[in-house]
Amino acid sequence: MMPENATRTRSCPDCDDFPAVAITTGQLLADGTRETVNVSCRTCHGTGTVPVRSRAAAREVAA
């Protein structure tokens, strides 16, 4: 049984369990590697989950 004060979470509907990604910019660095930018999901802030009550609100933000 879950305690009453426990927060239930669900997978983020916006990032589908990929909350943080590295995107290449297409530019090469001096050592020959690609320059990347780290990006986190705006809805879940990089956690991959959202509270159950906020899931509907997350859909409204995405629309």
Top pLDDT among 63 and 47 is at 47
What six digits make up the tokens of 30?
């001096």
pLDDT digits (tens, 9 = 90+) for 17-62: 789 999 999 999 999 999 999 999 998 888 888 877 645 565 666 5
SS3 readout for 6-42: CCCEEECCCCCCCCEEEEEEEEECCCCCEEEEEEECC
pLDDT digits (tens, 9 = 90+) for 25-35: 999 999 999 99
